Amino acid sequence: MKICRFQQNDSIRIGLVVENSTVLDLSPAGITSLSSILEEQDPTARLVPFAQEKLPRIPLADVQLLAPVEQQEVWAAGVTYLRSKTARMEESDFSASAYDKVYSADRPEIFFKSLAAKVSGPGGPVGIRKDAKWNVPEPELALVLNSKGVIVGYTAGNDMSSRDIEGENLLYLPQAKIYKHSCALGPWIILGASETEVRDWTIRIRIKRDGQDVFSGETSVGRIKRSFADLAHYLFRSQDFPQGAVLLTGTGVVPDDSFTLHAGDVTEINISGIGTLENSVTVV
């Protein structure tokens, strides 16, 4: 089941995406926030009856989708794929052993990524810093967690990163990762999928420049070294998230070292089982 946030005239609404082509507007049924659904004991069971109700139907193509977050903090796990560990070790010299160690340590790398209000949605901008020379998108599966730390859904995410700043010194990681338009999520949240199913999904990215593909790559969610429960557990250790949280699970697709994003590039992140998140690159 797919639940989305969208803009209708001056209001933000919650909808169900049905038949891959239509959005059912849930506002006449009194559903005005994502979190009211995500906090339910069984969000899917709560939504099933609405699919049969006579709710306004809007063609998906006419809907302006918004990032599927309201007040949830967005966090990110790193070095969860072997490909990420190798790339990180290659881009830095004295930080290399830190990446090597964190890949196999019990405690994962988890860092704060964005406030909900700063997240770009489908069709929105993703930023490259004007003081960085080597910038990449990171296509990642994102876990959607309720306030109890239960994984209730999944969406696609882009953990935009400045590799030269990250590689220069590990202490610069927050600057490499957290800046204007550095996080995108969408196009919607998938509810009711099990970890076993999700581990079979494929994450693909395509980067287009002037209409031509300049990079494409893919990985499988199943290559994530840690269980989702383990990542969620560490995020919620000694922390409260009264509004729930979103946790990006790390990247397994890293372009060759010669690749950097340009202003005007278009990033298309597709996760089978979710859908496609498209954004355009802008200098910030």
Inter-residue contact 161 to 138 (CB < 8 Å): yes
Choosing among ligand DO4, Mg ion, none, which partner's interface includes residue 79 (Cβ < 5 to 8 Å by kind)?
A: ligand DO4
Using CB under 5 A, which of 120, 158, 219, 251 touches Mg ion? 251
How many residues at the interface with ligand DO4, by CB under 6 A? 12
Q: Which among 66, 157, 72 has a CA at the least distance from the CA of 115? A: 72
SS3 content of the chain, % helix, strand, coil (to 5): 25, 40, 35
Among positions 237-256, residues that touch ligand DO4 (CB under 6 A) are 250-251
Among positions 105-164, residues that touch Mg ion (CB under 5 A) are 138, 159
Q: Is 275 in the site for ligand DO4 (CB under 6 A)?
A: no
Q: Is 84 in the site for ligand DO4 (CB under 6 A)?
A: yes
Q: Is 92 in the site for ligand DO4 (CB under 6 A)?
A: no
Nearer to ligand DO4, 26 or 77 (CB): 77
Inter-residue contact 152 to 145 (CB < 8 Å): yes
Label each residue of 218-265 as H, E or C. Answer: EEEHHHCCCCHHHHHHHHHCCCCCCCCEEEECCCCCCCCCCCCCCCCC
Q: Is 25 in the site for Mg ion (CB under 5 A)?
A: no
Using CB under 6 A, which of 31, 34, 79, 151 touches ligand DO4? 79
Distances (CA, A) of 208 to 215, 261, 279: 7, 10, 11
Nearer to ligand DO4, 63 or 132 (CB): 132
Q: Is 159 in the site for ligand DO4 (CB under 6 A)?
A: yes
**∠ CA 189-40-244 to the nearest 5 degrees?**
60
Tokens of 187: 């196009």
Q: Return residues touching ligand DO4 (CB under 6 A).
A: 76, 78-79, 84, 88, 109, 138, 159, 166, 173, 250-251
